[in-house]
Amino acid sequence: MNRWGRAMMLGASVGILLACGLALLMALWDWWENPGGIFRSDRGTQWHFVWDTFISWFAPTTLSFGLTGAGVMMARQWWRQY
């Protein structure tokens, strides 16, 4: 794979990892804040609500962060060329 392909894959990978971190942070934050008592109660944690929150943050941010990361790395390669 040439340097353009490696740069694009690296940027997309970093973007996806950042999206995963953001989704995890938001799911943990909602679990901690426990709005309406839906995430945890005396009976324990409702993991399906935590998972739904993670997915609801991860799905949209993965595409945008991945594409942005790939675009930034492609621009970096273009600027290094000239």
Could you report the per-residue pLDDT of 17-73, keeping only the tens digit for each?
999 999 999 999 999 999 889 999 999 999 999 999 999 999 999 999 999 999 999
Q: Copy the structure tokens of residue 61.
A: 């941010």
What is the pLDDT at residue 1?
Answer: 73
Copy the structure tokens of residue 58.
């991860």
**pTM exceeds cut of 0.75:** yes
Q: How far is Cα 67 from Cα 29, in angstroms, rounded to an integer?
A: 26
pLDDT band at 82 (very low <50, low <70, confident <90, very high): confident
**From CA 67, how far away is CA 25, in angstroms rounded?**
21
81 pLDDT higher than 90 = no
Is the predicted pLDDT of residue 6 greater than 80, yes or no? yes
